[in-house]
């Protein structure tokens, strides 16, 4: 399939996990990628993999916790590739702690990466996406659709991202712009492999949301992303697409 031939996609979190898988998938279907991350080494690996496969990618180190960096990332992507068709807000972080132990720094950082950055990147990208009848795909989480113990900041930020998606979708209902989100459950990536758990947590509570069918692969999320971001999904707008093995079915 060549659904992204001639299209330009800015993907955050492109150095690792889902962001890397999305970048590789869209590039394999013809997209020119502008890959954004704070991890320069991981970005270079993504860039090499895509270029080795004959794909088109440029990368830029931008810490998306700052609004100015979000604006700069969009401007640089448009400068590099001439336009913008897809914004993929994939970068995200999680930390586990009982609510009363969450530091102000962690609360603000988790919201800055998971919620503020998609908002500021969208603000900068929307004028460009309106020109191309493009679209935004936000990577939310099942944690944005249900309560999870010990992840108050993560749940709050992802629930915010779910309703940010819906708000931007309804606002643009009469334009060519589409806005959607994917809500994965557990996915085998660096995020889930390196997350640490403080002592004293109630594991019966964690097991309630640890997945009913094991972890998904990042490539599964990338496949759904590619469909939603493509013209095949021209009626998909304001959708929150769950890929969680059934955790949120109740
Ligand atoms: N892995 C899962 O189980 C899972 C489940 C649901 C949702 N998600 C979401 O999927 C998205 C991708 O996660 P992943 O599992 O691929 O994790 P990952 O850790 O493999 O990748 C996240 C990427 O975001 C980047 N990043 C973090 N802070 C940044 C910043 N300030 N500026 C720029 N880049 C930054 C990291 O460097 C990393 O490359 C996240 O939003 C995460 O919340 C993941």
Residue 135, helix vs strand vs coil: strand
- Say if 40 falls within a structural domain: yes
Q: What is the pLDDT of residue 48?
A: 98
Does the C-beta of 39 come closer than 6 Å to ligand 1?
yes
Q: What is the pLDDT of residue 27?
A: 98
The span from the CA of 86 to the CA of 225, in Å, is 10
The span from the CA of 25 to the CA of 245, in Å, is 22
| Interval between CA 18 and ligand 1 midpoint (Å) | 7
Sheet containing strand 86-89, edge to edge, reads 56-61, 32-37, 8-12, 86-89, 135-139, 178-184, 240-243
Chain mean position to CA 84: 17
Does the C-beta of 148 come closer than 6 Å to ligand 1?
no
- Say if 188 falls within a structural domain: yes
| Interval between CA 203 and ligand 1 midpoint (Å) | 23
The span from the CA of 25 to the CA of 2, in Å, is 10
The span from the CA of 219 to the CA of 206, in Å, is 25
CATH number, domain at 149?
3.40.50.720
Q: Where residue 45 falls among pLDDT bands split at 50, 70, 90?
A: very high
The span from the CA of 116 to the CA of 96, in Å, is 20
Does the C-beta of 35 come closer than 6 Å to ligand 1?
no
Q: Residue 197 pLDDT more than 90? A: yes
* Mean predicted confidence (pLDDT) in 176-184: 98
- Say if 191 falls within a structural domain: yes
- Say if 1 falls within a structural domain: no
Q: For residue 142, count CB atoms less than 10 angstroms from its CB and return exposed for 0-12, middle for 13-18, buried for 19 or more.
A: buried
Q: Tell me the β-bridge partners of 61.
A: 37
Q: What is the pLDDT of residue 212?
A: 80
- Say if 47 falls within a structural domain: yes
The span from the CA of 11 to the CA of 19, in Å, is 6
Q: What is the pLDDT of residue 111?
A: 98
Q: Where residue 211 falls among pLDDT bands split at 50, 70, 90?
A: confident
Domain of 192 in residue numbering reads as 8-241
Q: Residue 64 pLDDT more than 90? A: yes
Q: How does pLDDT run across 77-129, given as a tens digit for each residue?
A: 999 999 999 999 999 999 999 999 999 999 999 999 999 999 999 999 999 99
- Total domain count, the chain: 1
Cut 0.85: pTM above it: yes
Round the average pLDDT of the chain to a whole number and report it: 97
Q: Residue 250 pLDDT more than 80? A: no
- Say if 62 falls within a structural domain: yes
- Say if 211 falls within a structural domain: yes
Q: Residue 209 pLDDT more than 90? A: no
Give the residue numbers marked as catalytic.
154
| Interval between CA 112 and ligand 1 midpoint (Å) | 13
Phi, psi for 238 (deg, rounded to 5): 75, 15
Q: What is the pLDDT of residue 103?
A: 98
């Amino acid at each position: 399939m060549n659904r992204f031939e001639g299209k330009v996609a800015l993907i955050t979190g492109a150095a690792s996990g889902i962001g890397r898988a999305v970048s590789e998938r869209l590039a394999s279907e013809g997209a020119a990628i502008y890959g954004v991350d704070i991890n320069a080494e991981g970005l270079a690996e993504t860039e090499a993999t895509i270029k080795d496969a004959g794909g088109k990618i440029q990368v830029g180190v931008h810490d998306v916790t700052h609004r100015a960096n979000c604006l700069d990332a969009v401007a640089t992507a448009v400068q590099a590739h001439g336009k913008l068709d897809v914004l993929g807000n994939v970068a995200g972080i999680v930390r586990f702690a009982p609510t009363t132990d969450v530091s102000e720094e962690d609360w603000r950082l988790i919201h800055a990466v998971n919620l503020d950055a998609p908002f500021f990147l969208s603000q900068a990208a929307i004028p460009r996406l309106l020109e191309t009848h493009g679209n935004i795909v936000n990577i939310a989480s099942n944690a944005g659709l249900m309560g999870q113990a010990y992840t108050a900041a993560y749940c709050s930020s992802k629930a915010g991202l779910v309703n940010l998606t819906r708000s931007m979708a309804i606002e643009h209902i009469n334009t060519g712009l589409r806005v959607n989100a994917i809500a994965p459950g557990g996915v085998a990536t660096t995020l889930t492999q390196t997350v640490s758990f403080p002592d004293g947590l109630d594991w019966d509570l964690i097991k309630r949301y640890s997945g009913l069918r094991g972890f998904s692969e990042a490539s599964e999320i990338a496949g759904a992303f590619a469909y939603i971001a493509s013209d095949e999904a021209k009626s998909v707008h304001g959708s929150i697409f769950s890929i969680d093995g059934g955790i949120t079915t109740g």
